[in-house]
Amino acid sequence: MRRKNVPEKNLYVDKQSGKDFERPHYKRLVKRLKPGDLLYVLSIDRLGRNYEEIQRQWRILTKEKGADICVMDMPLLDTRNGKDLMGTFIADLVLQILSFVAQNERENIRKRQAEGIAAAKARGVKFGRPPLPLPDNFSEIHKAWRDKKMTLHQAADACGMPMGTFYAKAVKVENTT
């Protein structure tokens, strides 16, 4: 973007996945676009990864907002060029193909990720951080709480844990005994 002399104040960087267009930086960018502005996008899959949404957003940006779009890694997707019928047709065709490829890649990534998680679970891999051991006083505090000698809030405080955690641990202990 710097090689294209885009001022720093006009750079919008999304760190979220392009799975949808509910991204704060993207929304801010769309609000600021004015007719005649030029939007550089590195690659169409950086714009989004949903076929129909890419098509819809392209129309919003070019037709409703009146902005031009230049997809840097695909020179055919530069709305400044070929504004005649043939140029528009070619750009629309390329956009549809690349939108399809972007969504297809997203679906393949999700599928491979799910397969990897299932394989890891089958090998016995545990996800998430390991649970902390119960405090030494848990049994006595748990019994006092169940005997209604203290409130849930007091019991959780006495064990040094949030109420939800105390309750979940208490239920787990009761179900395993």
Q: What is the dihedral of CA 73, 47, 1, 24, to 10 degrees?
A: -170
Domain harbouring 17, CATH code = 3.40.50.1390
pLDDT at residue 18, rounded to an integer? 61
pLDDT at site 44: 82
The whole-angstrom separation of Cα 71 and Cα 161 is 51
Q: How many whole angstroms separate alpha carbon 52 and alpha carbon 60? A: 12
145 and 118 in a single domain? The answer is no
DSSP state of 149: S
Q: What is the pLDDT of residue 8?
A: 79
25-66 pLDDT, tens digit each: 888 888 999 999 999 988 888 888 788 888 888 888 888 899
How many domains does one find in the chain?
2
> Do residues 55 and 100 share a domain?
yes
Residue 144 counted as domain residue: yes
Note the pLDDT tens digit of each residue in 74-96: 888 888 887 777 777 888 888 88
Q: Are residues 162 and 83 in the same domain?
A: no
Within this chain, do residues 38 and 109 fall inside the same structural domain, yes or no? yes
Residue 127 forms part of a structural domain: no
Q: What is the pLDDT of residue 48?
A: 81
Range of 39's domain? 8-122
Predicted confidence at residue 16, as pLDDT, reads: 67
Query: Is 150 found in the same domain as 99?
Result: no
**CA–CA dist 98, 43 (Å, integer):** 9
- Separation in Å, CA 149 to CA 110, 137, 164, 167: 50, 15, 19, 16
Predicted confidence at residue 163, as pLDDT, reads 95
Q: Is the pTM of this model over 0.75?
A: no
Would you say residue 164 lies in a domain?
yes
pLDDT tens, position by position, 97-129: 888 988 898 899 999 999 999 999 999 999 998
Phi, psi of 173, rounded to the nearest 5 degrees: -65, -40
Nearest to 102 by CA among 21, 26, 58, 46: 46
Q: Is residue 132 part of a domain?
A: no
Checking if the pLDDT of 171 tops 90, the result is yes
